[in-house]
Amino acid sequence: MKLRESAKGRICLRELGEDPLVGQLVARLRTRFDVIAGPGDDCAVVAAPEKGRLLLLKTDCVVEGVHFRPNEKPSAIGWKAMARPLSDFAAMSGLPQFALVTLVVPPEREVQWTKGIYGGLERVANRFEVAIVGGETSASKGPAVVSVSVAGSVEKQRWVSRRGGKKGDALFVTGRLGGSIRRKHLNFLPRIEEARWLTEHFRIHAMMDLSDGLGADLPRLAAASGLGFEIDQAALPRNRGCTIAQAINDGEDYELLFALSPNDAPKLEKMWRKNFLRLPLTRIGSFILPSAFRIPHSFRGYVHFQ
Counting contacts by CB under 8 A, is residue 104 touching a copy of itself?
yes
Please report, for residues 126, 238, 256, 275, 286, the alpha-carbon distance to residue 280 in angstroms, rounded to integers and kept in the order given.
25, 11, 11, 11, 18
- Window of 65-73, 169-177, 277-285, 286-294 that interacts with a copy of itself by CB under 8 A: 65-73
Q: Which of 8, 9, 31, 45 is in the footprint of a copy of itself by CB under 8 A?
A: 45
Nearer to a copy of itself, 154 or 260 (CB): 154
Q: What is the distance of C-alpha 46 from the center of its chain?
A: 23
Q: Which of 208, 210, 189 is nearest to 198 (CA)?
A: 208
Task: Using DSSP, state whether 41 is helix, strand or coil.
Answer: strand
- Contacts to a copy of itself from residues 171-210, by CB under 8 A: 208-209
Counting contacts by CB under 8 A, is residue 265 touching a copy of itself?
no
Q: Looking at this protein, which amino acid is placed at residue 51? A: K
Please report, for residues 122, 253, 286, the alpha-carbon distance to residue 117 in angstroms, rounded to integers and kept in the order given.
9, 22, 41
- Contacts to a copy of itself from residues 74-93, by CB under 8 A: 88-89, 91-92
Length in residues, the chain: 306
Nearer to a copy of itself, 58 or 238 (CB): 58
Q: Measured between alpha carbons, how far is 136 from 104 in angstroms, rounded to an integer?
A: 8
Nearer to a copy of itself, 77 or 154 (CB): 154
Counting contacts by CB under 8 A, is residue 24 touching a copy of itself?
no
Nearer to a copy of itself, 93 or 238 (CB): 93
Q: What is the distance of C-alpha 2 from the center of its chain?
A: 37
Q: Which of 77, 154, 186, 284 is in the footprint of a copy of itself by CB under 8 A?
A: 154
- Contacts to a copy of itself from residues 114-133, by CB under 8 A: 133
Binding residues for a copy of itself, rule CB under 8 A, total 74
Max Cα–Cα distance, the chain, nearest Å: 71
- Window of 71-79, 145-153, 186-194, 285-293 that interacts with a copy of itself by CB under 8 A: 145-153
Counting contacts by CB under 8 A, is residue 13 touching a copy of itself?
yes
Counting contacts by CB under 8 A, is residue 49 touching a copy of itself?
yes
State the minimum distance, in angstroms, from the CB of residue 270 to a copy of itself. 27
Q: Measured between alpha carbons, how far is 80 from 261 in angstroms, rounded to an integer?
A: 33
Q: Measured between alpha carbons, how far is 262 from 85 in angstroms, rounded to an integer?
A: 30
